Structure 1
Amino acid sequence: MKGNGAKRAATGRLTGLVFLVVILAAILAVPDPARANGPSAGGLPAALVFSPQVLDRTSARLAADDPALASALDGLIREADAAMAAPADSVVLKPEPPPGGGLHDYWSLDPGFADMADPCAETFDRMRMRRMARHVLTLALAWKLTGNAEYAGKGTALLWAWCCDSQTRARPHLDRARTRPGSIIGTPAGIMEGRDLIAAAEAACLLATSPAWSGPVDREVRGWFADYLHWLRRSESGRLAAADQGDLGLWHAAQVTAFARLTGNDALARATAEAMRGRMAPPLRSGMELRAMLILAAVAEGTGVDLWHTSGLRGILEALTAGPTATPDGDTDCVPDCADRLLPPDDAPLFHRAALVYKEPRYLDLAGAGADHVRAALAH
């Protein structure tokens, strides 16, 4: 009986959430000419991982109807239209709360126990976070490059549902990420799943110039990320992750740097990036490490810290072009994340960024033969 009640409650929450998002999106998408393309409500960075300069150049080329970008823009619009039709994702939609926790607590299963349960099943929140981040960033980039306020409205609504609305928000911690059977507390490795939140934070930066972004939205979203940043630095899991010498430590630093920039703590962002110079050096132990290094170097640019040229990152890329020993799909430090299998990350933009920074087109080959390099160049 208890299980049936939980399922009925989840169904009711789903119905209410969809209604909330539809109404909120409609309200937020009402154009405000005084705000469109103007300064952000609270002075958010222009971008985090994306290059503001490349975004500006892309916008100018699109305004001039550059035919070379037509196919890439069409692909982005198709993805944005699909995201417009997608329901909101929220942690409260799982059928029951984690042991010892509540529905608002993010919950995922350690992938090492996939033989006991599917870590990407709807029982857990792993795919919800990945989908939310993917949809929000797609919509935000589509808003930035097309000026379509409907994309901004839906993107802001999805971000609001995940971070801000009292009925649907996730609590700003990952205490129950990568839990193991029989345990009510997650593992420090669960912090790696928070890498998806970097995309959500990037989306906030792009949406901040839209008519959908208001002062209250700005305060609530930045407040959520400030609280998560505090947990990331002060919790036991966060301290253990910061001390890790592998991919976990790199992803912890990438998140701290990104969220410190988002919330206006520039000193923390710079200090965190500076401290990682010695960690970004050969030998490369996993593809996850490489992805974290590239993202950290990109985010650090906005702090004035040049990790591209003052760490061992270029040496790693040179070694990979000479004869790859690890690829972005490889993951030697831990069991692969099922979200990367079901909704794999696109690393082509990161390699395009590296090729641009180093003026070395050989690095584009690291993205693989099927990479869409025109699409990769839209924001990097």
Structure 2
Amino acid sequence: MRFLFLLLIGLMVVGRAHSQPPKTVVSTLKPTILAEAHWAMQQQPVTVTAQTSPRSTGSKHDFFSEGDYWWPDSTNPQGPYIQRDGMTNPDNFVAHRQAMIRFSRVVGALASAYVVTRDETYVRHALRHLNAWFIDTTTRMNPSLLYAQAIKGRATGRGIGIIDTIHLMEVAQGLMVMEKAKSCDPRAVAAIRRWFANYLTWLTTHPYGRDEMNAKNNHATCWVMQAASFARLTRNDSVLAFCRNRYKTVLLPEQMAADGSFPLELRRTKPYGYSLFNLDAMTTICQILATPADNLWTYQTPDGRSIEKGIRYLYPFVADKSRWPLKPDVMYWNDWPVAHPFLAFGAVAFKEKNWLTAWQKLDHKPQVEEVLRNLPIRNPIIWF
């Protein structure tokens, strides 16, 4: 256990020094990383153009998804869908989201393997996928999200759908890890950066993006998390500064209660899963944005709300789920928790061995689709 704690500390130091991880880290993680990378090397690119839905009003290059909790109305089967909060409709179109999650897994695995081996074979294969999604005019995705989380009979797309692109964050981070490799074509990197710059402009200017930014729960958190990730890749200092300020002046004071809980998530029909998800997103924001001059890990609001307080509130219910004081989530109750990034990031930031112990024991390779959808950080080695 002590070794794992030192391992993560080592990863953090290595990331700051931009050098290769220590041999002890490589020898411990290499088998797992290479196994996932072996899978990734067998995968061919699959983008949004591979499948389309007749219910999408966009082109084949536009990402399309449907709201998870919307169902046919039994009293009006041909009419607009109705909401059943927390209950996922298995007949809704989610192929583009699944393709994006797969893309994130592939690039995250290949980038991790490159970090520990410096084998540029992984870089070359990752570039095939990156090219298909962002450059190739026959398969690329448009850098906008006009048709995400549509609702039959009600909306062709919604700002709330922006949460679907949290799975592009490990793609962006993976590119940052690999871009200095000899096999990484600078022209391709520049083109991919332009795609993310265009998407970031859309996120920050389109009404859908503004709506999502001003949401009151985990959607607002995920907007800041994505904007921060893409701004770091595109070197957009103004958006990075905006995101730091938004975390301190909006997310913490408006979403966190004095005890460290998230009341807006606790009101949902899946309060446990949503609390985990929101805390993962907030700690990832700190991991991306914290600097020596503006350390979000140690920042507290005037009345004492902080990311440390959020982790300390939720950790006991991760270590012992039976202590959870509310009703079980209406779906996927048995599938949480997993190896949440807030435990790993928080353990390093606050030198809390118990948090790392819990992280070590949890599932690092969940397969349930709902869990994968709500776990955008799956390759911690590329974030330290």
TM-score, structure 1 length as denominator? 0.74
Structure 2 stretches lacking a partner, 5+ long: 1-10, 71-87, 266-274, 301-305, 366-378
**1:267 matches 2:238:** yes
Matching residue of 2:261: 283
What corresponds to 1:179 in structure 2?
Answer: 150
Per the alignment, in what secondary structure is the counterpart of residue 125 of structure 1? helix
Match of 1:308 in 2: 297
Deviation at 1:59, TM superposition (A): 2.6
Q: Which letter maps to 2:344?
A: H
Q: Does 1:352 align with 2:330?
A: no
Partner deviation per Cα, 1:327-356 (whole Å, 9 max, x = no partner)? 8xx9x9x9989xxx8xx9964444222111
Partner of 1:35: none
**Structure 1 residues not aligned, in runs of 5+:** 1-49
Q: 1:377 to 1:206 in 2, by over 3 A?
A: closer
| Deviation, structure 1 residue 325 | 11
CA distance in 1: counterparts of 2:291 and 2:141, whole angstroms = 28
CA offset at residue 307 of structure 1? Answer: 1.3
Q: How does 1:158-307 map to 2 (within 5 A)?
A: 158-183=129-154, 185-278=156-249, 279-280=251-252, 281=256, 282-284=260-262, 285=265, 286-301=275-290, 304-307=293-296
Structure 1 position 361 matched with structure 2 position 353: yes
Conservation of the 8 A alpha-carbon contact between 1:111 and 1:335: no
Deviates more, 1:247-256 or 1:98-107: 98-107
Higher RCO, 1 or 2 (CA under 8 Å, sep at least 6)? 1
Amino acid at match of 2:48: V
Q: State the Cα distance separating 1:54 from its structure 2 match.
A: 4.2
Maintained 8 Å contact 2:212/2:223 = yes
Q: CA deviation at 1:321?
A: 3.1
Task: Tell me the residue number matched to 2:44.
Answer: 87
1:95–1:61 CA distance, 2 compared to 1 (3 A): same
Question: 1:222-248 CA distances to partner (integer Å, 9 max, x unpaired)?
Answer: 100011101111111111111112100
Paired amino acid for 2:89: D
TM norm structure 2: 0.73
Q: CA deviation at 1:215?
A: 2.2
Task: Go from structure 1 to structure 2 and tell me whether the alpha carbon gap of 1:70 and 1:336 turns closer, same or farther (over 3 Å shift).
Answer: farther
**Offset of 1:260 from its aligned partner?**
1.3
Give identity over the alignment, percent.
Answer: 21
